[in-house]
Chains A and B, each alone.
Chain A
């Protein structure tokens, strides 16, 4: 177990004047035993960042330390880490047992020690019955568990997960998420988990790094990221349906974007007048899309409870009021969060 320190980590592709930076100086401190999720849209650089920690990509500038050691120049196998890949990356011609034992065999761990470790990991992950099977004889979820088993037996200081749930169907994803949480509770190993799914991020993370275009937008607990987003990007990315970001809400000063989450808009008899454009039925609740005309036409999304109100008809007018303590303000030019309405103190 160890902490991970990212110190101004930068990545550029190419050399000299034509070099394109893809990661712009990220610094963060991940504590020993913490489960940190790196979340962001496709192409934001989260996998690149993870691979730099893993040693599969060169670091252009800055330092990465695992524990007390700077690992910039160490091979992946020397960094005391283990990685779980999106496509499992199991050796197809080897049995499950051999897949899990391979790394230990290369490290010249004694045979009985290998067997003990593999059996123990197999028990935790409930893959004991499959030890002699080949990967092609297993389902996707089972293969992913074997991939995790392969990581566990190395007894590393850090676990790295590269979108491991993306290849699984929705039900299996939810199941495997719980298993990963259970695993982290039992083993307590520092973990870095990359995903583009903000639900996975919210449910698994103790803290999360929200990334956009190679920049770390916010590093905080799920609660902090959700209730106090640091920028319009984070506000719009976390939460489904996303936060309403309004350019010209009444009462806001110039150059301010007002943010309010759909669940914080209450239906009232007076207030903002929305013309209902669409209604989406989700089962437990409904999403209502209404157009609010007030100078510039913004669109709003509202979540409503099924029991309290009838289904609004398309074209009808609804009035909503925001809860006063649940408003967010962002600077329109930089996108950064402001602590209060009005000019930044």
Chain B
């Protein structure tokens, strides 16, 4: 119906454009603010066009030489910490979930369904519910302020296990039998057949888990106490010191923009992958 009535077409376009503006405008403002001096930002009205201080602000943010009263941790270093922990979390979650789903679907062992549901239910609880005991365990094991402490408690995933299980159930039984005929043992079958077939699911889950890992705030806040292990999302918060002293908003905004770039890159790169996978139908 929309195709036939020009008014409705215009209306739907207008609504969509409005939606894009609502989402994109704050990002635009952030970018603009990151290119101005901090005095220019606090003036009202704030300038709406980019200023000329782009390189200056970004280098200051990257190297931690921004001045101001908030944390001066170099953003470059924090980005590396975020990147490493997000990668460990994403890759770790995918690997563990692939193996768990493989065991659940293709093997029979006593208590199989019980374990499946037990793991599922406990993981459905948000991190915050189990955060007290988890902190104690991590601290007792001496894993505070380390990549291990940042990533291991977050590395199991119910969603990924469930998704892979559903996918594995669609793999035809005959394929497993053909592999058995060819002499492929279970791990061989897993490596040569199941994992390549799961490529699109893996790509999709990688994006989701990477962004999840990148955006982790509460857990890293508890587990890290030294500046050199802060992920960048914590860095942003700590820069906003409050109080009467001068705030370097332009540096904060530059940091925010820098923090947004890696997840955006991951989504853009992976998009090509899983659209390609969706388009090729398989038999």
Seen from chain A, the residues whose Cβ lies within 8 Å of a Cβ on chain B are 54-56, 75-77, 81-83, 85-87, 89-93, 102-103, 106-107, 135-136, 143, 150
A91 to B192, CA, bound (A): 9
* Binary CB contact string for chain B from 255 to 279 against chain A (1 if under 8 A, 0 otherwise): 0000000000000000000000000
Chain A contacts for B282, CB-based, 8 A: 92-93, 135-136
Q: Which of A55, A83, A92, A102 contacts B283 (CB 8 A)?
A: A92
Seen from chain B, the residues whose Cβ lies within 8 Å of a Cβ on chain A are 172, 174-175, 177-184, 188, 192-193, 196-197, 199, 280-283
Q: Is the CB of A87 within 8 A of B172?
A: yes
CB distance from A115 to the nearest CB of B (A): 17
Q: Is the CB of B188 within 8 A of A89?
A: no
Q: Give 9 CB contacts A-B under 8 Å.
A: A77-B182, A91-B193, A102-B182, A102-B184, A103-B182, A106-B184, A106-B188, A135-B283, A136-B280
Q: Is the CB of A136 within 8 A of B183?
A: no
A56 to B180, CA, bound (A): 9
B199, closest chain A residue (CB): A93
A106 to B182, CA, bound (A): 7
Q: Is the CB of B175 within 8 A of A89?
A: yes
Q: Is the CB of B174 within 8 A of A85?
A: yes
CB distance from B194 to the nearest CB of A (A): 10
CB distance from A258 to the nearest CB of B (A): 44
B177, closest chain A residue (CB): A56
Q: Is the CB of B177 within 8 A of A89?
A: yes
Q: Is the CB of A93 within 8 A of B197?
A: yes
CB distance from B190 to the nearest CB of A (A): 13
Chain A contacts for B179, CB-based, 8 A: 91
Chain B contacts for A54, CB-based, 8 A: 181
Can you add 6 more A-B contacts, CB < 8 Å, to A89-B178, A103-B182, A106-B182?
A76-B177, A82-B181, A83-B177, A83-B181, A107-B183, A136-B282
A107 to B197, CA, bound (A): 23
A89 to B175, CA, bound (A): 5
Q: Which of A76, A82, A92 contacts B180 (CB 8 A)?
A: A76
A135, closest chain B residue (CB): B283
A325 to B184, CA, bound (A): 57
Q: Is the CB of A83 within 8 A of B280?
A: no
CB distance from B188 to the nearest CB of A (A): 7
A147, closest chain B residue (CB): B178
Chain B contacts for A76, CB-based, 8 A: 177, 180-181
Given A136-B280, A136-B282, check contact A91 B181 (CB 8 Å): no
4 interchain residue pairs of minimum CB distance: A77-B183, A103-B182, A89-B174, A89-B178
CB distance from B203 to the nearest CB of A (A): 14
A167 to B104, CA, bound (A): 31
Given A89-B175, A91-B193, A136-B282, check contact A77 B188 (CB 8 Å): no
Q: Which of A77, A135, A136 contacts B181 (CB 8 A)?
A: A77
Chain B contacts for A136, CB-based, 8 A: 280-283
